[in-house]
Amino acid sequence: MTRLRLAGGCLLAVSFAAGAFSDSARRGPNMIVGGYRVLSADFHVHSFPLSWGTLAPWDTVIEAHRRGLDVIAITPHNHVWVAKVGRWYSGVYSSAGTGPIVLAGEEIVSAQYHLLAVGIQRTIGSNQTVASAIDEIHKQGGIAIAAHPLAQYWPAYDAEARRKLDGAEVLQPIAWRSEDLAGQLRQFYESAHLTAFGDSDYHGLGPVGVCRTYVFTREPTEQGVFDAIRAGRTVVYDRGRAYGDPELIELAARDGRLPKLDPTGQSTGLSVMLSRITGIAGLVIAFFSLGGAHARN
Amino acid sequence: MLRPGSAYSTLARQPTTTGMWLAVKRPLFLAFLLGCTISLITSAGLNWRLASSATVYWSYVPGCEIAALGAAVSLRGREGLSLARTIDLFFMGHGPWTLWLIGLGAIWSFFPPARAFAITSPAWLYGALAAVIVWSAWIDFCFFRFGLGRDRGSAWRGLLLQRLISWSLVILVIGAPAIPSDLGERLRL
């Protein structure tokens, strides 16, 4: 048993060492296309606690930086408290000027719809219509994005709500689960003149920013991001498809760099592979060595 | 894990040490496992910074379980076992959850995200989760029945109380603000 524990411990130590070796921030695209500074953004991120997320706000900010994101919006369910913690921490973390811009937000979750409020200061209640929630978001200077607008949520988005919306998620990880779900997101996006968003709806499964929005800003600041969104200057890529401003899609295609970026790509370096193999093996061995007689019975 | 009744009968009769380490070693392992799984899922490897940080704040899960176990056990007294030994025996029954977490970590670290999302579709995820919940409930029932020597009815009551308290606390911390809306959505209210 002691040998087994030792083996598990050694494997875990190797895994952590290999993980530390590969623990460096990915550089964002940091590119200028057609005079715009293109920022890589994820506007739908959940944190621990109170939002069905696994990472605390500080870890979320660091992970976003590691994944090369320039902008994230932390959007807890029906409150803004955790988002404000993340925004505060980003001020500390980004003091060297390297971290992402963190926007405080909320995912307004009601039984009829899910709506992202990005760039707000106070919690917006969920017990109201979409149109009235959007009014409140705009009063606070924020932007309103339809979160994963699948067919079940369409009845809540009446004509008034669709006219007031700033944007809709046209890409979400749920789109990878079935072509039908992907089609529903596309259909909603195409039903109104909306700014395109690709968000990870990050709850902890997979890396943050696995779906992302490229924002074409005049300046890489918070205000620059809001101005770009209100002007509809975003592009989203999904498996050969592109959504967003057609002129910007064309511009990016001529430039060639942006469509080649793959945020879904997994690290395949030797140290990462070593870390995951030894990590899994180490945990299994540690479990059986600790389980003792009970594990054998 | 496969024959928890006989395992707990044997284990409860075995002489053992007592003390703080016995009480905390398995709960600490569970917290460490949660931290490592989060790291594997998020960064596809074991990242010391991420795993250690997540271990600290996810240690509230074993904390809630110990509090709930304390409540379930204290209603009937300690039943001949020290609290440390009771905690140790109870956390021995976490095998199904441990394997489920390691499996989840393996899927998310070895498959590209798009593929992993497809594999862990809600039907698959909830199906596996349901199996783990039932398996784990059976093991914990055996803990109350054979580890603590209770009769059948009392063992079921102990299990239900432990689950009610620990799961309520865990779920409240993870997602309290959206629970009423989530329920409304699922019940189509």
> DSSP per residue over A33-68, as a string?
ETTEEEEEEEEEE--SSSSS-SS-HHHHHHHHHHTT
For chain A, which residues make up each domain, given as ranges? 1-22+270-297, 26-268
State the best of A280, A285, A289 to mutate against chain B, taking most chain B CBs within 10 Å: A280
Output the pLDDT for position B14.
82
pLDDT tier, A4 (very low <50, low <70, confident <90, very high otherwise): confident
**What token pair was written down for B82?**
């020290």
Predicted pLDDT of residue B119? 82
Instruction: Measure the CA angle with vertex A107, ends A30 and B101; round to 5°.
Output: 80
Q: What is A26-268's CATH superfamily?
A: Metal-dependent hydrolases (3.20.20.140)
Supply the ipTM of this predicted assembly. Answer: 0.92
Of A121, A67, A55, A75, residue with least CA distance to A99: A67
Burial A25-54 (b: 16+ CB within 10 A, else e): eeebbebebeebbbbbbbbbbbbbbbbbbb
CB contact under 8 Å between A56 and B50, yes or no, is no
Predicted local confidence at residue B118, as pLDDT: 82
Predicted confidence (pLDDT) at residue A294 exceeds the cutoff of 60: no
> For the whole prediction, is pTM greater than 0.90?
yes
pLDDT at residue A262 above 90? no
Give A213→chain B minimum CA distance, Å. Answer: 17
DSSP B148: S
Q: Best residue in A60, A65, A200, A276 to probe B by mutation, most B CBs within 10 Å? A: A276
A295 — pLDDT class (breaks 50, 70, 90): very low
Q: Return d(Cα A290, Cα B62) in angstroms, integer.
A: 16
Handedness of CA A204, A208, A210, A213 (dihedral sign): positive
Under-70 pLDDT residues of chain B: 75-79, 188-189
* Residue A32 host element (H or E): strand A31-33
Contact between residue A121 and residue A140 where contact means Cβ atoms under 8 Å apart: yes
Residues from chain B that touch A206, judged by Cβ atoms under 8 A, are 41-42, 108, 113, 116-117
- What three-state secondary structure class fits B163? helix
What is d(CA B40, CA A276) in angstroms, rounded to the nearest whole number?
Answer: 7
Residues in chain B: 189
Each residue's pLDDT tens digit, A211-237 = 999 999 999 999 999 999 999 999 999
- Chain B neighbors of A126, CB-CB under 8 A: 181
* pLDDT at res. A293: 41
Q: A171: which chain B residues are within 8 Å (Cβ-Cβ)? A: none
Average pLDDT, chain A: 91
CB-based contact (8 Å) between B25 and chain A? yes
CA distance A75 to chain B (A): 12
